[in-house]
Amino acid sequence: MAEPLFDRVAIIGVGLIGSSIARAARKAGLARTIAAADQDASVRERVAALGLADEVFERSGEAAAEADLVIVCTPVGVCGPVAAEIGPRLKPGAILSDVGSVKGAVVRDMAPHVPAHAHFVPAHPIAGTEDSGPDAGFAELFDGRWAILTPLESADPAAVAALRAFWEGAGARVDTMTVEHHDLVFAIVSHVPHLIAYNIVGTAADLEEVTQSEVIKYSASGFRDFTRIAASDPTMWRDVFLNNRDAVLQMLGRFVEDLTALQRAIRWGEGDKLFELFTRTREIRRSIIEQGQDTAAPDFGRRNAPSAGDHGAISPPGP
């Protein structure tokens, strides 16, 4: 059996993403020892009961001590305080990373706490479900999914390569982006779609009384997809929008402009414009399937059991 990539990996925050990382690392033999930390006592109990980690701690710093790789899997809004606790406990050569879907705020809040003798390599695995907690995770969550690394200009190439190898070992495909480009890209492919889903489902909820429950009773597959996205962790998404507000507002402004144009086309019966848009968006869907980011299998909201392809196609990976 091959030697593990890391002797000790610490996972801070053991929800869906953290528990999935632990499971994937265990399955692939990526770490000799897995340490985990979570402030929630009930989560720690489940982590121990499920055997997700060899050592379980309440304090992040205790889990991070002597770790070769520390991955922060908490909501983006608390990454700074967590890094402040972890920083003094990082050993020379240790790699500190995260899983947040916002990178600018993470770098701003975490980087100042990373000592010169350690390496900070932010990351974002693009995988997730609407479920949360240690029981929701599974080792195959990252299989075939993208993990984006956003190393800073001063990043050590060996540390970046080691983190890349870890995510590849967990089953992910790995790419790199600058922090700024990442936040702009994911504002449109993840953050704004979630905001739209929350808004549509909220509007439907307001209409529920008026329509005497027909909104839920007759909900079509399109609306059901929105409700799945809108069921994502509220704390995580609150932090995402507040910490990527500039990029989100920029993309939201563009979306509102395009929506206004679509509204105008409908009002004036401009069928050619509608057909052109729908044809173009259909090609985008086909491209996503060709890239392996989703399947063309029929859905209709009637799956009996989820498959690996059902997890994370739209919902983000982590905080």
Is the separation of the CB atoms in 193 and 166 below 8 Å? no
230 and 262 co-located in one domain: yes
> What digits encode the pLDDT tens for the residues 120-132?
999 999 987 777 8
Say which amino acid occupies 115: P
143 and 252 co-located in one domain: no
DSSP 297: S
198 and 210 co-located in one domain: yes
Residue 95 lies in a domain: yes
- Reported as a pLDDT band with limits 50, 70 and 90, residue 301 is very low
Q: Which helix (H) or strand (E) holds 49?
A: helix 41-50
More confident residue, 291 or 159: 159
Q: Pick from 75, 20, 85, 81: which is nearest to 53 by CA? A: 20
| pLDDT (0 to 100) of residue 228 | 82
Report, as an integer, the average pLDDT of 64-74: 97
| pLDDT (0 to 100) of residue 307 | 35
CATH of the domain at 125: 3.40.50.720
Question: Which of 177, 204, 220 finishes a domain?
Answer: 177
Q: Any residues with CB less than 8 A from the CB of 135 and at least 6 apart, and which?
A: 19, 46, 50
Q: Pick from 126, 132, 127: which is nearest to 46 by CA? A: 132
> What digits encode the pLDDT tens for the residues 82-140?
999 999 999 999 999 999 999 999 999 999 999 999 999 999 999 877 778 899 989 99
Is the separation of the CB atoms in 125 and 8 below 8 Å? no
* Alpha-carbon distance values, 20 to 125, 207, 304 (Å): 11, 37, 23
Is the separation of the CB atoms in 128 and 316 below 8 Å? yes
60 and 81 co-located in one domain: yes
Report, as an integer, the average pLDDT of 249-263: 92
> What digits encode the pLDDT tens for the residues 168-197?
999 999 999 999 999 999 998 888 888 998
| pLDDT (0 to 100) of residue 310 | 34
Say which amino acid occupies 42: S
